[in-house]
């Protein structure tokens, strides 16, 4: 099972710049209030330096799930300079989107705004509507966000179906099939797995 992804793991799904422009257009019309989304909406918290990984993850979501992403860094309603208005606008969209995902790279974990967004998302969403995508730099052996994975549901990739039933509280009584899941750890250390598709419904 892959619990911490490497940066670049979603590069094969990377959307072209032209399609990314389309995603931004959708995000902008949603943020401007000129269109009501018909798909599940996701607030994608990220560090601006991680744009390539963001494009890869969006490409993966677009290919396999019927979702729409809000990207605050490309919201035309944001003030030019960071201010209290910036925070209020971010709060508005964290509240109004259906799900919150933090692209939890080492860069993002060290970024005050990403941590603030995660904290606000924690306060506004039920725990089953928030998740992190843990992702480390390929040249680093240690991932700096392990404590996040103990607190928040996180996305994992199951590569084989050899997980024993005793370790799972997954609602169907069989080993997990390969795919992506949202894993939650309770206070006793027990892990619950929900398929990413089910989580996004």
Q: 65 or 22: which carries more pLDDT confidence?
A: 65
The share of the chain scoring above pLDDT 70, in percent, equals 80
The distance from CA 75 to its chain's CA centroid, rounded to whole angstroms, is 18
Q: 127 or 60: which carries more pLDDT confidence?
A: 60
Domain architecture of the chain: domains with CATH:
5-153 (3.40.50.10140)
The share of the chain scoring above pLDDT 90, in percent, equals 34
Average pLDDT, the chain: 82
Residue 169 pLDDT exceeds 50:
no
Specify the pLDDT at position 170: 46
Specify the pLDDT at position 101: 96
Specify the pLDDT at position 19: 67
Q: 18 or 158: which carries more pLDDT confidence?
A: 158
The distance from CA 49 to its chain's CA centroid, rounded to whole angstroms, is 16
Q: 1 or 31: which carries more pLDDT confidence?
A: 1
Q: What is the pLDDT of residues 87-145, one digit of tens each?
A: 888 898 898 889 999 999 999 999 998 999 999 999 887 778 999 999 998 887 789 88
DSSP 131-150: EEEEEE-TT-SS-TTHHHHH
Residue 166 pLDDT exceeds 60:
no
Q: 17 or 98: which carries more pLDDT confidence?
A: 98
- pTM for the model: 0.85
Q: Which own/partner contact pairs does 89-97 have at CB distance under 8 Å and 24+ positions apart?
A: 89/31, 90/117, 90/120, 91/120, 91/124, 93/31, 93/43, 94/43, 94/120, 94/121, 94/124, 94/125, 95/124, 96/41, 97/41, 97/42, 97/43, 97/70
């Amino acid at each position: 099972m892959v619990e911490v992804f490497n940066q670049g793991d979603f590069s094969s799904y990377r959307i072209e710049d032209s399609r990314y422009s389309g995603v931004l257009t959708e995000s902008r019309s949603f943020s401007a209030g000129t269109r009501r989304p018909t798909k599940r909406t996701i607030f994608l918290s990220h560090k601006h330096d991680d744009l390539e990984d963001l494009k890869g993850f969006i490409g993966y979501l677009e290919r396999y799930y019927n979702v729409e992403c809000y990207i605050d860094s490309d919201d035309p309603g944001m003030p030019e300079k960071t201010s209290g208005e910036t925070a209020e606008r971010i709060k508005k969209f964290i509240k109004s989107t259906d799900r919150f995902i933090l692209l939890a790279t080492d860069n993002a974990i060290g970024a005050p705004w990403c941590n603030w967004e995660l904290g606000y998302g924690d306060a506004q969403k039920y725990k089953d509507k928030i998740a992190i995508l843990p992702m480390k730099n390929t040249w680093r052996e240690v991932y700096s966000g392990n404590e996040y994975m103990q607190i928040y549901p996180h996305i994992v990739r199951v590569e084989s179906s050899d997980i024993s039933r005793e370790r799972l509280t997954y609602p169907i009584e069989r080993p997990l099939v390969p795919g992506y899941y949202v894993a939650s750890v309770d206070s006793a250390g027990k892990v619950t797995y929900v398929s990413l598709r089910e989580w996004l419904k």
